[in-house]
Chains A and B, each alone.
Chain A
Amino acid sequence: MENTPTSKNRANGSAEPAEETGPGTDQGAHPGGDGPGGRNRAGAESRGRVLVVEDDADARDLISHLLRREGHDVVPAAGGAEALALLREVEVDVILLDVMMPEVDGLEVCRRLQQSPDLATIPVVLLTALDDMETRAAGMRLGVSEFLTKPIVKDELHRRVATQVGVRRREATLDRVRTRLDSLEG
């Protein structure tokens, strides 16, 4: 799956100036993510495009900032409806989704994603309170990939997002192996 930043995406981006996240940044210095056994830290392989769905503007800006600084490409959305609309236009690797939002909340977004074959495979990281077992259980049933506990801890955010971007990379690698097998079988 191609993962080049598009102008479409930039246009959907927040008002913040686009940060350059090329190989010249310090991200490449992170160890790990380099083998089947490596825990993901943000290396070149684990940078992707993240849809950040959070109705609280401060939280959304902070999360977006942290992810951009780690080298990810961020598409912010202020609510569930906006997120679902954006997903029709932009391809993303991971959806970071707050649970508590007015109107279309996080679990409802999950439900709608599940109904769409194209969107159901995008990993969802659900932002939830630590004690909220009910939401966690509901999220489990709705195919959520990870939970991220609020208040957000930076390292945890990066670890969860990197893991799920890594999943997308793995999918791409397996796709390449399938292509190789096709050519072997002629």
Chain B
Amino acid sequence: MQDREQAVRLVGEHTLVRQVSDLARRVSSSDVTVLLLGESGTGKEVLARSIHATGPRRERPFVAVNCGAIPTELLESEMFGHERGAFTGATVARTGLFAQAHAGTIFLDEIAEMSPALQVKLLRVLQDKEVRPVGSDRSQRVDVRVIAATNKDLGDQVRRGLFREDLFYRLQVIPIALPPLRERRSDVPLLVEHFLARHNAGRTRPIAIAEEALVHLWEYDWPGNVRELENVIERAVVLCEHDRIGVEDLPPAVRAFLSEKRLPRPVLGADGIDLNRAVEEFEGRLITEALERTRGNKQAAARLLGLKRTTLVAKLRKVRDATGGVDEDVPRDEAARAAAGGRARA
């Protein structure tokens, strides 16, 4: 239901974006039901808006409903409306979002969050093109184009009995999957340029970005996808004290991404950590780096690491076994144990 200004097209030149945009353009001319799939922040709502904005219903309302953000008990009356006195607190009758979207498009985001009871009702609306407000005994006709979206694997939800199969097939006539940003990194510079241009429009002091900062943005994995990138750029623009965003203006998580790859800091997450494996990896990286720096001279590398040459050679053999070894299945544990023993002796 947010109505802030948004670009009504996906920004990018990646082949997947082109394919997705092409499909969106084609489905916009008809009323075929579209299901948009993708992680949060990949642009599902932007795409839904673009389908609406380029189709015959563009002069009519576009109503977005986030099914996950509205409490289950309220969602039905939000969607279909209610009569006065239909439930405690319903002091006046209210038009539902479906009726508000009449002749236009309704965008049902996070559709997987819908309760089973409401799924039945939605299916009926899609089949009969009628809605019945809560507490009413009369149905009203609605002419609405439905675009649904989810970041869940809806097929899996069906298999687990959490989502109705009949509704699933009704919704996913044309499924369009939006790629996560980390699968189309080549679009990062273009997106950055897009967000900067939006910021710079009408400003006397335009802000650019340093190439090294761009490299960092490219390497980050963007769990929050394009939306996260947009936020990072907005933040950087505010923090930036010059006319060019530098690495120092980026959030620590983005900034640390490249340097942590060099020697990733082991994180003890909620699921715990495989200590042997983490130690093994850390050790392996330091050994490789020492060897690189000494151009493969084991004696010199051992000195850098404070080891005897023979210890380094033994470790090297174990690391090779564990990372590039012939058979991973058996020796991994053994190698880890042996490495641990080796450390004790060293």
- Chain A positions near chain B (C-beta within 8 angstroms): 26, 34-38, 62, 65-66, 69, 121, 130, 133, 136-137, 140, 143-147, 149, 151, 153-154, 156, 163-164, 166-167, 170-171, 173-175, 177-178, 180-181, 184-185
Contacts and interface: CB of A to CB of B under 8 A. Distances in A.
A170 B39 CA distance: 14
Given A151-B288, A153-B281, A154-B324, A137 B177 contact: no
A140 B177 contact: no
A64 B212 CA distance: 31
Tell me whether chain B's interface is mostly helix, strand or loop, or mixed: helix
B32 interface: yes
Contact of B174 (A149, A153, A180): A180
Contact of B23 (A137, A151, A181): A181
Kindly name the residue among A133, A149, A171 whose own CB sees the greatest number of chain B CB atoms within 10 A.
Answer: A133
A8 B215 CA distance: 38
Interface of B: 15-16, 19-20, 22-23, 26-27, 30, 32, 37-39, 150-153, 156, 173-177, 179, 182-186, 188-189, 211-212, 214-215, 218-219, 258, 261-262, 281, 285, 288-289, 292, 323-324, 328-329
Contacts of A153: 281, 285, 323
A38 B214 CA distance: 26
Contact of A170 (B177, B212, B324, B328): B177
A133 B212 contact: yes
B189 A149 contact: no
A34 B153 CA distance: 8
Given A36-B38, A177-B175, A140 B186 contact: yes
B325 to A, nearest CB: 10
A75 B67 CA distance: 47
B23 A177 contact: yes
A96 B176 CA distance: 29
A25 to B, nearest CB: 11
Contact of B179 (A140, A170, A185): A170
Kindly name the residue among B173, B186, B219, B262 whose own CB sees the greatest number of chain A CB atoms within 10 A.
Answer: B186
Q: Which 3 A-B pairs have the closest CB atoms?
A: A35-B153, A174-B19, A151-B288
Given A121-B15, A133-B211, A151-B292, 18 more contacts: A35-B156, A37-B39, A130-B261, A137-B211, A140-B189, A145-B184, A149-B262, A167-B179, A167-B184, A170-B16, A170-B177, A170-B183, A173-B177, A177-B175, A178-B19, A178-B22, A181-B23, A185-B30
Given A36-B152, A37-B151, A137-B211, A166 B183 contact: yes
B16 A140 contact: no
Contacts of A164: 183
A130 B177 contact: no
A143 B182 contact: no
B319 to A, nearest CB: 11
12 contacts: A133-B211, A140-B186, A140-B214, A140-B218, A151-B288, A154-B323, A173-B177, A180-B174, A181-B26, A181-B27, A181-B32, A181-B174
A171 B15 contact: yes
Given A37-B153, A151-B289, A184 B32 contact: yes
Contacts of B39: 36-37
Contacts of B212: 133, 137
A185 B324 CA distance: 52
Contact of A171 (B16, B175, B186): B16
Contacts of B285: 151, 153
B255 to A, nearest CB: 14
B281 A34 contact: no
B23 A36 contact: no
Given A153-B281, A171-B19, A65 B177 contact: no
B177 A163 contact: no
Nearest to B153: A35
Contacts of A136: 215, 218-219
B152 A35 contact: yes
A174 B20 contact: yes
